[in-house]
Amino acid sequence: MLQANVKRPGDLQIEQVPEPRPGPGEVLVSVASCGICGTDRSIFTGGYPVAFPIVLGHEFAGTVVAVGERVEQLGVGDRVAVDPNVTCDTCAFCRRGLVHLCARLSPLGVVRPGGFAEFAVVPERNAYRLPEQLSFERGALIEPLACCVRGIQLAGIEVGDTVAVLGAGPIGCMLLQLVRLEGAGRLIVSEPNPSRRELALRLGADVAVDAGDAARAEVLEVTEGIGADVVIEASGRARTAAFALELVRRGGTVAWFGSCPESDRVEISPFWVNDNEITIRGSFNNPFTHAQALRLAATGRVKLDELVTDSVPLSKLEAALDLANFPNAGKIAVIPGERA
């Protein structure tokens, strides 16, 4: 089979390797679609530390083509969406139900081989049957949606709240729909790209404004100068994470959701946090939220159709990892079975 192997940061090779075999409790998935995530870009450029070489790709869906021993629920031919987070179940975090904080977390596409390959080995418990009405392309969006569900749970939005979402890329567009479902009274999206602003409006934003001063002016205007109840950072930029702190009201919550490079820093005054009783939440993962994400997608309550803007074969993965080559891209889907 073909796989895209990142040997070290910036060095990606498409190679022909033997098809892997599923071990006990594992299934072999023929990868139909695997989304490119900001995390893949960070790993590829060296901004997110992992052990190389690594086959990236943790957002994927496909068909089960072989099963290992002791696989009980799934069979050959089943369509599945994959939860990439393989947990140890015995560390102190797992034993407290905090599986997303597992001390020995070994996610597919980050530690174990992922979905930028024609086939991937997946523990049966990490594969979720894909409802009939969901295409593989949308199935590959279930993982990021499950992360967004977790992020929204932590943001603690209350009915009627004024919420600002900073960034309307694929993640921002999922988050803003969940903010709507949570019952926000006013939803402001800030985003520099005009076509993304249009999309945010179609998906339920009350108003979509340019980033920076325009966003600040809009938030202050609709909140009588006090700031938003909840501000969600969805762009993965330290500058935007810092800007979120400027938009939140006293007693409000800032949720840092976008994945910034590990070395990025935000300067913050502890006094200001105390004095204003600010809550800052971080979230990165999707513990026990795949089933909810599947339901939200299958029922159309969260619309995913417009989020995938491009699809590329494995041979174009390296080009697609550089957003400069796809300046207007939303989610880019890699189709490993497709030939260039």
CB contact set of 205 (below 8 Å; sequence gap of 6+): 165, 168, 176, 187, 188, 189
CA 171 – CA 131 distance, rounded (Å): 22
Quick one: which segment of 64-72, 91-99, 218-226, 296-304 binds Zn ion (CB under 5 A)?
A: 91-99
103-128 as b/e: b if 16+ CB within 10 A: eebebbbbbbbbbbbbbbbbbbebbb
Instruction: Select from 37, 155, 219, 308 the one that contacts Zn ion (CB under 5 A).
Output: 37
CB of 109 to Zn ion, least distance (A): 8
Task: Select 61 or 208, whichever has its Cβ closest to Zn ion.
Answer: 61
Q: Does the footprint of Zn ion cover residue 321 (CB under 5 A)? A: no
How far is the C-alpha of 209 from the C-alpha of 199, rounded, in Å?
Answer: 12
Minimal distance, residue 39 CB to Zn ion, in Å? 5
* Min separation Cβ 337 and Zn ion, Å: 21
Using CA atoms, how far residue 150 sits from 30, 54, 201, 242, 326, in Å, is: 28, 26, 23, 22, 28
For the beta carbon of residue 295, count every other beta carbon within 10 angstroms.
13
Question: Contacting Zn ion (CB under 5 A), which of 28, 34, 55, 102?
Answer: 102
Closer residue to Zn ion (CB): 102 or 117:
102
With CB under 5 A as the contact rule, the residue among 1, 65, 66, 88 that binds Zn ion is: 88
Q: Which is nearer to Zn ion, 228 or 307 (CB)?
A: 307
The strand ranges marked E within the chain are 2-8, 11-16, 26-35, 59-67, 79-82, 119-123, 127-129, 162-166, 186-190, 207-209, 228-233, 248-256, 279-282, 308-312, 331-334
In whole angstroms, the minimum distance from the beta carbon of 258 to Zn ion comes to: 11
Give the residue, chosen from 1, 17, 50, 91, that forms a contact with Zn ion under the rule CB under 5 A: 91
Tell whether residue 94 is a contact of Zn ion (CB under 5 A): yes
Q: Which stretch binds Zn ion (CB under 5 A): 101-109, 269-277, 313-321, 326-334?
A: 101-109
Using CB under 5 A as the binding rule, whether residue 286 contacts Zn ion is answered as: no
CB closer to Zn ion, 87 vs 126: 87
Q: Is 39 in the site for Zn ion (CB under 5 A)?
A: yes
The CB-of-227 to Zn ion minimum distance in angstroms stands at: 29
Q: Which is nearer to Zn ion, 64 or 94 (CB)?
A: 94
Closest contact distance (angstroms) between CB of 203 and Zn ion is 19
Rounded distance between C-alpha atoms, residue 23 and residue 111, angstroms:
17
Alpha-carbon distance of 340 to 322, in angstroms, equals: 18
**Residues whose CB falls within 8 Å of the CB of residue 97, separated by 6 or more in sequence, listed in order:** none
Contacting residues toward Zn ion, per CB under 5 A: 37, 39, 87-88, 91, 94, 102
